[in-house]
Structure 1
Amino acid sequence: MAAQTETGPASRAGDGIYHAGSRAVQDRVGVREAADHVGRSVGRGIRPVAAAFLELQPLLVAGAADPATGAVWAAPLTGAPGFVRATGPHTMSVTGGVPADDPLARALAAPGTYTGTIALDPRTRRRMRLNGVLTPTRAGFSIEADQVFSNCPKYLQRRESFTYVDRTPGPARVSGELTAGQRDLVTRADTFFLATAHVRGADASHRGGNPGFVRVTSPRELLWRDYPGNSMFLSLGNLAADPRAGLLFLDWTAGTTLQLTGEARAEFGADGERRVRFTLARAVWRDGALPLAWAPPEYSPANPLLP
């Protein structure tokens, strides 16, 4: 998916996109020039082709920090296509929200919350990120965009279709450690979403790989390899400046969700390989949370083979 944004002087310079955390990671890996090139595609505008993409999506993932606790969470929002739409050249509006006991509910109700979002379409292996400042509305919320950009389909699994399922969401089950069922969901996952934050914003991104690419090393710790991407290092850059992180795992068939909050840190190996170690503070599990059932995945040919 080609970038569908307006660019400006800040985008061309790169310094309007990247803060010191991202720059530190780019310099450590030696990709500052590549990051500046990719950064030219980042802007504030939502072009017509991007607006059309948003209106086709039944799923949006949002990430932000809870204004009361500071914990960073990621949460899924669903609706009939059109529930997410561009309502202005720099504004995305969302109808609906999350349950009142969702850990992201306070953030989505607080004016001025820095919020990161990602719209991901498994049918076409396309994804688009929009980050900005949230304003609650009578119907849900809107976000005034600071950053709008698309990503390549790398590590994104194709799921050809989905159906709507009439499910009654279960209660939120909160724990400080991963249960056996939660560990199983994580180790079976081919996709998860990562929310990060910094003093000037928030971001929600996608991570994908073959099942097993995320390892559960203890009931309170996860580990995954950071596969090569677009060289921007927005997520790892945020973590370099602020280790708070929120993870979201979905059961794409049963609609179960697992939301995790804690801290994550990148580890750089001598061989150039990067890993991210996540330490759990709190987990929230909800059966039947999503009214969507997706077709089985076709794994991305870019996924590295696992040992």
Structure 2
Amino acid sequence: MSFHTGEIALQRQEGVDAQLGAMGPRVIRDHLPQQHRDFFAQLPFVVVGSLDERQRPWASLLTGTPGFMQSPDAHRLRIDALPEAGDPLAAALRPDVPLGLLGIEPHTRRRNRLNGQVTALDAQGFDLAVGQSFGNCPRYIQAREALPGTAASSPSAPEALTELDDDARTLIAATDTLFIASAHPHAAGSAEAAEGVDVSHRGGRPGFVRVGADGSLAVPDFEGNRFFNTLGNLLLHPWAGLLFVDFARGDLLQLSARAQVLTGTPEALGFKGVTRVLRLQVDRGWRRRGVLPLRWSTPRPSPYLEGTGHWVAPVA
């Protein structure tokens, strides 16, 4: 089966469960097609979803010279990069753990998802066995090109957060891009043993992630492929890992948040044109300043943003 019970429940609400049930096996593969193998090999960064010791997802970012990811065959991916100390991925990375990968090339608006399991770990990187591989549509990706930059020679120590401070609120309120990791439980209804891990992209106009006075975040669910991979996971395992990137400074903000999927009218949810919103209550996080060796060009907004509405979303 290509989809689990959480995904199917949301697909059924949209009346597309039969259509996607037939389509899923054709587009969600247990191997990397050649175009995906080539795609990962040309990227200078990849987003990685992992689980901590409490089975809560985190989203991280690894970088390298294009070619740092290679697929020796259709069922394997080698990544010659390791997380920095203080990144939640560093504590999670070991053989047999599940990971979710998002390969994304913003300037071409291409993205591919890979969910798999670590098979080997060494001093240079790690190997993944492919469990699922599938492409995603280019909607809501802001076109920006990754450019060589310079990471701080002595990056500041990771800053632990138990709530959003002013710097975090400012970054989130101005963002046009969010990466979100999620997981689904081994047994339906159990939130204790998360099995599969996934990481995805969300995009919108600056302000599309609304910051509440209590530190909660609200993210509108714009129309997409209606697979509901992320929201379906969150119905069963209501924890998300969030990654915000400061594309100009090379900073990373990683958050762990309890998630709730809200449905209703656009007026009640506060976002024009959407009937589903993801509410996130931040539990803890890490900020790592100047850690990325990449910077990004000025973005060209996605043309699909014209259909997503306009909101005034001040930082409370």
TM-score, length of structure 1 as denominator length: 0.91
Give the CA deviation at 1:176. Answer: 0.7
Structure 1 position 198 matched with structure 2 position 180: no
Mark the CA change 1:65 to 1:306 in structure 2 (over 3 Å): closer, same or farther.
Answer: same
* Distance apart, 1:47 and its partner CA: 1.9
Which of 295, 298, 312 is equivalent to 1:296? 298
Greater mean alpha carbon deviation, residues 262-271 or residues 127-136: 262-271
- Offset of residue 111 of structure 1: 1.7
Residue number in structure 1 paired with 2:240: 245
Is the contact between residue 44 and residue 146 of structure 2 (CA under 8 Å) also seen in structure 1?
Answer: no
Q: Is the CA contact (8 Å cut-off) linking 1:194 and 1:207 kept in structure 2?
A: yes
Question: How far did residue 93 of structure 1 move?
Answer: 1.1
Q: Cα gap change, 1:224/1:294 in structure 2, threshold over 3 Å: closer, same or farther?
A: same
Q: Which amino acid aligns with 2:196?
A: G
The answer on whether the counterparts of 2:59 and 2:199 sit within 8 Å (CA) in structure 1 is: yes
* Residue equivalent to 1:208: 203
Q: Equivalences for 1:14-93 in 2 at 5 Å?
A: 16-39=1-24, 40-66=26-52, 68-93=53-78
CA-CA distance at 1:97 after TM superposition: 1.1
Q: Name the CA distance, whole Å, in 2 between partners of 1:26 and 1:161.
A: 35
Shift of 1:220: 3.0
Q: Which runs of 5+ in 2 are unaligned?
A: 186-194, 267-273, 312-316
| Residue 105 (structure 1) aligned with residue 109 (structure 2) | no
Distance in 1 between residues matched to 2:146 and 2:237, nearest whole Å: 37
CA distances 1:116-172 after superposition (whole Å, capped 9, x unpaired): 110110121100100011133222111111110111110001014522324233211
2:172 corresponds to 1:186: yes
CA distance in 1, matches of 2:217, 2:145: 29
Q: Using a 3 Å threshold, how does the CA distance of structure 1 residues 263 and 166 change in structure 2: closer, same or farther? A: closer
Q: d(CA) in 2 for partners of 1:174 and 1:72? A: 17
Segment drifting more, 165-174 vs 244-253: 165-174
Q: Give me the identity figure in percent.
A: 38
Question: Equivalents in 2 of 1:265, 1:301: separation in Å?
Answer: 29
Q: 8 Å contact 1:22–1:238 — kept in the other structure?
A: yes
| Aligned length, in residue pairs | 290
Shift, 1:34, TM fit:
3.6
- The one-letter amino acid of 1:277's match is R
Aligned Cα RMSD in Å?
Answer: 1.4
Contact 1:35 1:230 in 2 (8 A): no
CA distance in 2, matches of 1:111, 1:137: 6
Q: Could you tell me whether the CA contact under 8 Å between 2:146 and 2:294 is conserved in 1?
A: no
In the TM superposition, residue 29 of structure 1 has moved relative to its aligned partner by: 2.2
Which residue does the alignment assign to 1:126? 110
Distance 1:170 1:176, change over 3 A: same
Distance 1:285 1:43, change over 3 A: same
SS at match of 1:129: strand
